[in-house]
Each structure stands twice: as structure tokens, then as C-alpha cells.
A and B are shown apart, each in its own frame.
Chain A
Amino acid sequence: MEGILITTQKALHLLVTGDQELWSIVILSFSVSLKAIVLTTPPAMLVAYSLVNGNFPGKRVILAVFNSLLSVPTVVIGLFLYVMLTRQGPFGDLRLLFSQTAMVIGQILLCFPILVALGFATINAADRRVRETSITLGAPWWYTILTVLYEVRFGLLAAVLTGFGRIISEVGISMMVGGNILGYTRNITTAIALETSKGEFAQGIALGIVLLALAFVLTTFLTYVQGKQGMSK
């Protein structure tokens, strides 16, 4: 018990004193995951909108595929990407393995189905009159899409926050295609795994506190957003 207390004290000390190594890991985590979520959101929302309002064959099958991809383990995505990016793989010449770019690509693969599935549910629940009103008032198709997305923005923001929470806390992809290189590809989750395996718990606990704080902030914000959504109806 005393050991845990001392380690937690050390962890808090690392956080409070602004330990450079620890905070560089935190910044790298946020940088990679923010890039991934920013690059994923627009195309995922377009796909979700098309699945709701488009009139083409195979819509249900595509939706079923995205829903199935929600439960794919991150290590499987990591393995798939590793095979693609390894020297002998089809994209080996790009030399992306063990880079932040590879981590971003992996996180995009992870959160794309999440954003499509949650985006679909949100847009599908949108009032049908929004689209009809926009069309009848002469809006071009792309403005109608923006109008519908704006009207359900709180639900979509909740979807994006959920996706962000998922990718910043994943470990499988980052470990396999990032390689856990200090100062380059080591993020919060891979650092926790490494420090724990070394028996150095202080940094792991400090990083765990950062992740828990993030989870708390995201959940609080989600609750606030859902409250706003409820009020705007």
C-alpha cells in the first residue's frame, strides 16, 4: 500500500513539475489523434449523409459492414497496416512504418467506421423537413448537406468526441505501426505499456491520470452537448 502511495506521489510530482519527457508524450498523443479525427470527420460525415439520403443499391450492406467494423480489435488494424507498410508490403516504398503518419493512418482506419455509424444514427434521426426546406428554398445540394449537418451538430459533435476518445486511448495500432520510439512515436498508451513492463510505475500512473482526466473532460462535455441538443429540439 505504501508503495502505491509513493508511486502516486511521484506520478503527481511528474505532472505538476512539468516533466519534459512526460508532457512531450502527451503532446504527441494529442497531435496524432487530433490529425486523425480532423482528417476523418468530413469524409465520414459525407458517407453517413449519403447512406441516409442517397438512393443507391447496397446501402444496407455498406451500413452493415461499417457496423461490423466497430468491433474490430485495434491490434488487427495494426497488423493489417503493418503488413501493408512493411518493407515487403505493397506500400513499403513509402517508408511509413514506425512513423507518426502510420499512427495517424491507423487511427483513421479505427475511427472512420465509428464516425460513419454514429453519424448515420444522428443524421437518420434528423427532422426530414430540414432537407426538404433547404431544397425548396433553392439551396444547392452541398449547402443542403451543410444545413442538415448543422441542424444536428450537437449529435455529430458527440460522435466526434466519442471517436476521439476511442483513438487517443487505443494501444494496439500505435504499438504495432508506431514502434514506441521515444520522442517520435511514443504516445500515452504505448508509454504506459512500456513503463509498466519495466516496473516503472510513476510515469505510467501519471500518463494514466492524463487519460482519465481526458475521459472525464470528454464525458462532461458530452453530457453538456447532449443537454444542449435536448434543449434545441
Chain B
Amino acid sequence: MIQPLVVFRGIEKTFAEAKILRNVDISLYPGKCILLTGNNGSGKTTLLKIIAGLETPSHAEIAFSGKTQSWKNTIRSVQKEIIYLHQQPYLLSGTVESNVSYGLRFTSLNRKQIRELVKEALEWAGLANVAKNQAKTLSGGVQQRVAFTRAWILNPKVLLLDEPLANMDIESREQALDLLKRMKSDGMSIVITSHDANIIDGLIDSHFSLSDGKLD
């Protein structure tokens, strides 16, 4: 029986008296992929951002490392293991290399080690040929792959992807999907929101739908 990496319980979120999320529970398992569907405004992005620690819930508890505590007390330590990717990723000013190395600056690695890791990651993602390019000048599909690589290099336990394959052409989508499959096989827990379940069919282990603030 696989133990979950982290469990979020009783997530509630209220915006100006409107309940966006009602008592949502979600468990994240290593090497498993969850698909989250729901209409526009159903709270998918809000849920992902609460899990990533980027938005504060009205109420939530986290079970992590054998303890269950409030979201507020636990999120800082859980946040280190989770990376959230926007629907349209924001690539920072600078080259692809500098974007991919961004998160490594806050680790104990030295410059040489970072350079080597970045080189390896860019080769892994098939981005070595654009390493020196200005990240913002790349096409949407390539930018998305740069964002995946920037996340993958940090080896997070959980990856949260908000509509990652939307607005991509078929070739970029297949390349991105291939990267996601490799991330999953590396043991990452992945949560994806998508309108179209068919696109990521081969990746999904479980499927939840958000409606009226509840997860079914």
C-alpha cells in the first residue's frame, strides 16, 4: 500500500461571501497523476494555489510527515516540495539557461555544479539548442517546456500544472506530454487541471471534478 506524500483536508475558500471551495480533501501519491476538471471559475486554480502555498485558504489542514496540522503552520515546510506552474508560464528576463537555473540558486550547490545540472536538464528536455536564447522570445510551446525543465531540475515531490497543454500545437503538446510522463516515472506526484481529458489520457491515474466547490 503506497502512503500519500501529503494530504490536504477540509480545504475551504471564501471570496466576498461566495464559497469557492467546500470541504475539499485531496491526497497526493508519489508517481501518480490526478486530473482535475471543472467549469471555468469552479475553483481549480484556487485549489492548486492553496496546495502550492500561493493563496491562503479560509480553512485547511495538512497531513505531512506523520503529523496533521493547520495549513498555516505546515505550508512553509510542504511548499518546498511543491512547484506550481501557471497556465501560461512566466519566464523571467534572461536566457533559457538562467531561467532553468533560477531555483538552484537557493540550494547549497556551487556554480559549477549548477552549470552541469542545467546542461544535463536542458539536454533531458531537448532544449540544449536554445540554451542561450532569450527565454521571452521563444514560442509558447517551447516556453512551456522551459518551465517544465525549470521545475523538474529542482526535483519536487509534487508538480501542480494549471492547463499545461492548452493553446499548444500538436507537436509541442506531444513533446510536453513526453516530459510529463518522464517526470511521473521519476516518482513525482502530478496534479493537472484540464478541460480536455482525452489529451492527457495516458498520464492519468485518477480523475476528480470540481463543481459547486466540491470535489467528486
Residues of A at under 8 Å CB distance from B? 127, 129-130, 132-140, 143, 147, 150-151, 232
Contact = CB atoms under 8 A, between A and B. Distances in A.
Given A143-B106, A232-B136, A136 B90 contact: no
A137 B90 CA distance: 12
Interface stretch (B62-70, B77-85, B193-201): B77-85
Nearest to A55: B56
Contact of B92 (A130, A132, A140): A130
5 contacts: A132-B54, A135-B79, A136-B54, A139-B103, A150-B93
Contact of A147 (B80, B84, B92, B136): B92
Contact of A139 (B86, B88, B106): B106
Given A137-B103, A139-B106, A132 B93 contact: no
A140 B102 CA distance: 12
Contacts of B84: 132, 136
Interface of B is mostly: mixed
A140 B84 CA distance: 16
Given A136-B84, A137-B151, 11 more contacts: A127-B90, A133-B86, A133-B90, A136-B53, A136-B79, A136-B83, A140-B106, A143-B105, A150-B93, A151-B92, A232-B136
Interface of A is mostly: helix
Contact of B102 (A127, A129, A137): A137
Contacts of A130: 90, 92
Interface in B5-58: 49, 52-54
B114 interface: no
B128 interface: no
Contacts of B106: 137-140, 143
B54 A135 contact: yes
Contacts of B52: 136
B125 interface: no
B53 A135 contact: yes
A118 B54 CA distance: 26
A123 to B, nearest CB: 15
